[in-house]
Structure 1
Amino acid sequence: MRDNREWMYNRLEGKFLSPTFAHKVGEFIAFATTQDNVVLDGMMKCPCAKCRNIPYQDIDNVKEHLYKSGFKPNYFQWVYHGELRFLKNSQSAGSTSTEDASNPYISMVQDAFAQEGHLEDIEEEPHPTFKKFFHMLKAAQEPLYDGSKLSLLAAAARLANIKCEYNIPIKGVDDVASLMRDMCPDESKMSDSFSKTKKLLAGLELPHQRIHVCPNGCMLFWKEHKDLKECLYCKGSRYKTIMENGNNSPHSVLIYLPIGPRLQRLYATKSTAEKMRWHHDNPRAHGLMSHPSDGEAWKHLDKEYESFAVEPRNVRLGLCTDGFSPFGKTGRQYSCWSVILTPYNLPPSLCMKKTFYVSKFDNSRSKKPKRESGCVLATSY
């Protein structure tokens, strides 16, 4: 049974800060900072009435915010700061289960949707915009089966991560998922195929476009050419077969990943938002080249576009490309051109990590040589 916490909403004595409140805030900070996964990179969720447990702040700012604004309403149970949460079971009164509010998968969902909430907070049918959020939140909170340490979302995310990490074929993942399902009790919610796992994780994915491609790689059926049935150059058919119901199967598809939402996600995620301002917030010794922002090209861009340079959250990107033949010296006229896009806002230790840069390939059968290119791009969001 937790202590009486009426002090949380008795911040002032007259016009001055209550000594009891100040002392108890110190105890709250001390408790929270000892809990696993509450403090990340020296920062924790701020429970003040303005921040409402959404942004992460450093410890001193959290204390200052609480002194100025007090706690958010009805935050008697510190679920975002390490306390166990008791979930209501609508099927049987008095039946409870516990969940650690520092569950990283719940934080992942809240970061992805930039929302805060809990299942028991829903008193009526949510707006369609938020249905996906609450569906993902439910998957992050509910265990696979009674007594399981994994939630449905945790199992699906780890299975998908294993597939990507070791490049396992879909058939192999289907077999692994089927084995896991057979190993779980009958009441388990574990999916038995990769397609069902993907459906569960679809709420977290960033937008992408599927663009049909000429079978010989001549052109994309995109924009003003999106309704064409054959290639303008080689006259090759766009589709393998043409069905009466319109469900035509294309010869080839390019999956286009827009970069804008991916850059925005870097600012929506607590662990990287601060690091995306590293180039601006971390002064370095004059005359030393330790980051692209120390170079003449960066400084020239700042002078040419002063209004862009004053906003530290504007994104600087480095693009480079070079070609290679995947078939060695077999004589085939075919080459791949890797395109690597690097966010230069990040510190040197992070910007070249695979997690943050975007790598794409341009496949070409052209005999014309292409030159390697490198440049600095900038974009604002």
Structure 2
Amino acid sequence: MDKSWIYSSRLSNAYDEGVNAFLEFAQTNNPKLDVIPFPFVNYINLCHHSIDNVRYHLFAHDFDENSKIWSFHGEKQPKSDSRCPNNSIPPNAIYTKDMLHDAFKYVDKEPDSLKSLLEECDKPLYGQFGWSDASFDALLSVLKDILPSNNTIPSSIYESKKLLKGVGLQCEKIHACENDCVLFWKENKDACQCPTSGTSCWKKNTKNVPSKVLWYFPIIPRFRRMFSMPQIAHDLTWHAQGRVNNGKLTNPRDTLSWKLVDNTWKEFGQEKRNLRLALSADGINPHKSLSSKHSCWPVILITYNLPPYLCMSRNFMMLTLLISVPNQPVKDIDDYLAPLIEDLKLLWETGVKTFDSYKKEYFNLKVVLL
């Protein structure tokens, strides 16, 4: 509940009406409520009083003006959804401070003590980015000794990284010809010279240092991971969930290319979980330097199945290739796209077995690049 109207009403000599409206709001949201958190400036919702007592103190003193949204007054909170900011619990509803309700009875007569407690709530437990690998190893060693002998806690940071390797983002480093002729990949994987220009794959006067490197982040395991999270798996069928077809172009779902896929390849269109993708590529100068002689070309996939507020969000803009070349690749970009194209062809022609964690079933996932 936004209480800015209470302040404005006070300025217009109608403060009493604002207070009564607030208390009526608190009672309406919970008719059985006998006491409510005390919004007096020195107590900021950390003790409970009867509504009459709250009314008296609010007339005699004031609200806490740092709190712009009312919470903890019996009103029902919406379900939290970190992906959609319009449907999330107000940021002022900090549950750490809610724990101080029980502690407040010990500082009821000492507001300064309450202030100290609140300040402690906001302090970080430790300084970030100051923990060395050696000290973390020492901590793991101590924890392993403290816990029962059959514990499975990693004994070092190296073991921890091995344990988490399976959930990390996979990356393939593929060497490329200095002249952008071919990738040293698949049949050319073990070649030391470009089969087209005869150029060495290594930098001049160096050993085992590639001339150019393409970074490829495989898309198939990442698509599978999207369906491994129930909420995201559900969101990936948003385009088919009772949308009104009013003949207007309001979403990629309404485009001719989407409808062409559905009508031409009906089996593909009938599976609502099949993905429709867009691809974007552009060059950037690293380190914010426009005069740099080096450029990076990220190649990004967008999943159009998702709701609009997720479709173009950073979490779902999938970096697939990072082409690092001195100059823009122009027509030679086809060579660099080869690993991505191979996976896209597999996902279009054959598909891959994928587990839908929302429906708790396996299905054959296919994709199309619109």
TM-score, length-normalised on structure 1?
Answer: 0.44
Bigger Rg over Cα: 2
Superposition TM-score, scaled by structure 2 size: 0.45
